[in-house]
Chain A
Amino acid sequence: MRRLLFALPLVGFLALAAVFKWGLGHDPRLLPSMLIDRPVPEMSLPPLPGRPADSGLATADLKGRVSLVNIYGSWCISCIQEHPYLMQLKKAGVTIHGIDWRDDPVEGAKWLQKHGDPYDRVGADPAPGRAAIDFGVTGAPETFIVDKAGVIRYKHIGPIGPEVWKTTLAPIVQELSK
C-alpha cells in the first residue's frame, strides 16, 4: 500500500497532462447556447433597403417549416467563406433566413447583390444588434436551426461547410422535418 503512494505524483502528472491536452484542443469560443429548446426571441426586423417591404424577418416568419437562421454581415470575412455553400443549400431546397448583423443595411444588401442571395428573408439588425443579442450571438457567422414550431434546436458557431453540414446539421434538419 505504501509503495503505491510513490506512484501518486505520476498519477497526478498524468491527470494534469490529460486536462491540458483537453484544454489545448478545446476552443473557448464555442460556448453552449442558452437558447436551445427556447422559442425564437421576439423580433421584427425591417427588410434591407431596396427590397420588398415584406422581406424582413419577424418571429412569426420562423413558424411552419424547419429553417436555418444565419447571422452574417458585409464586414464578416468568414461569411464569404461559407457563402458558396449556403447558395448550394438553397438550391438543394433548404430554407435559410439571414440577419444582417451590426451592418449598414445598404452594405448588407450590396454584399448579397455581389455574392448572391441564399436567403428566403433577410432582416437588418444594425448596431447595437438587439436581435442578435437576444439570440445570444457572440460572432458571425452563426447559424441556428429552428423547428416547425419556431423553437431553436441547434446553434452552429463559425462557417458551414460540406463536412459540418453532412455530419451534424443535415441529420438534425432531417429529424425535425419529419
Chain B
Amino acid sequence: MRRLAFALMLALTAPAFAADPSEMLKDPALEHRAEKLGKELRCLVCQSESIEDSNADLAKDLRIIVREQIQNGKSDAEVKKFVVDRYGDYVLLKPPFKAGTLVLWLGPFAFLLVGIGAAWAFYRRRGTATDSAAPLAPAPLTEAEKRRLAALLKEEK
C-alpha cells in the first residue's frame, strides 16, 4: 500500500511548467505556437534552459513579449527576428545554418570523414602487412633441431 502511494506520488509530480497560467494566451492554437517558439529561445540568465522552462525574470518578460507579438499577428519568423535582433543568434537554442556557423554544423561530419579515412588507411595497411608477412613464416627446422626436439620429447615421457 505504501509502495503504491509512493508510486502515485512520483507519477503526480510531473515536471512543473514555468509558464504562469496567467501568462497563457486564451486561444489554445496561439498559446501552442508561443510555447513551441519559446522552447527554441534560450534564457539569457540560465543559458541552458529555454525561456519556456526557466523561472528567471528575464525569461518571464520574454515569454510575455513573445505572446504579445503572436497575439498581434506576428509570424514565428518575425518574433524570432525580434529576439535575435536584440540578443543575437546565441538566443536560438538551434543555431541557424549560415556562413558563420558552418564549422559548427559541418565539423562533426568532417571529423567523421577523417575517422573513416584513418580507419580505411589503417586496415588497408594491415591487410598488405599480413600478405607480405607470409615469407617471414618460421623456417623449417634443421636436422640438428629435429633431433634435439625428439630428445626433449622423449625425456618428457
Q: List chain A positions with a Cβ less than 8 A from chain B.
A: 28-29, 31-32, 34-35, 102, 127-130, 133-139
Contacts and interface: CB of A to CB of B under 8 A. Distances in A.
Residue of A35, A130, A133, A137 most packed against chain B (CB within 10 A): A133
A138 B45 contact: yes
Contacts of B47: 28-29
User: Main SS of chain A's interface residues?
Assistant: loop
Contacts of A35: 86
Contact of B61 (A31, A34, A102): A102
Interface in B30-80: 44-45, 47, 57-58, 60-62, 64-65
A37 B88 CA distance: 14
24 contacts: A28-B47, A29-B47, A31-B87, A31-B90, A34-B84, A34-B88, A102-B57, A102-B61, A127-B60, A128-B62, A128-B64, A128-B65, A129-B61, A130-B65, A133-B62, A133-B65, A133-B86, A136-B87, A138-B44, A138-B58, A138-B87, A139-B44, A139-B45, A139-B58
Nearest to B61: A128
A135 B58 CA distance: 13
Nearest to A32: B88
Interface of B: 44-45, 47, 57-58, 60-62, 64-65, 84-88, 90
Nearest to B85: A34
A28 B87 CA distance: 14
Contacts of A138: 44-45, 58, 87
Contact of A34 (B57, B65, B86): B86
Contact of B57 (A29, A31, A127, A134): A127
A31 B44 contact: yes
Contacts of B65: 128, 130, 133
B60 A31 contact: no
A31 B88 contact: yes
B85 A127 contact: no
Nearest to A73: B57
Nearest to A35: B86
Contacts of A127: 57, 60-61
A166 B47 CA distance: 31
B48 to A, nearest CB: 9
A127 B61 CA distance: 7
A134 B62 CA distance: 11
B37 to A, nearest CB: 15
A7 B66 CA distance: 52
A127 B88 CA distance: 22
A29 B87 CA distance: 12
B113 to A, nearest CB: 17
Pick the 7 closest A-B CB pairs, nearest first. Answer: A128-B61, A138-B44, A136-B86, A128-B64, A34-B88, A129-B61, A136-B87
Nearest to A128: B61
Contacts of A136: 86-88
Nearest to A31: B90
Contacts of B84: 34
A36 B145 CA distance: 87
Given A28-B47, A128-B65, A134 B86 contact: yes
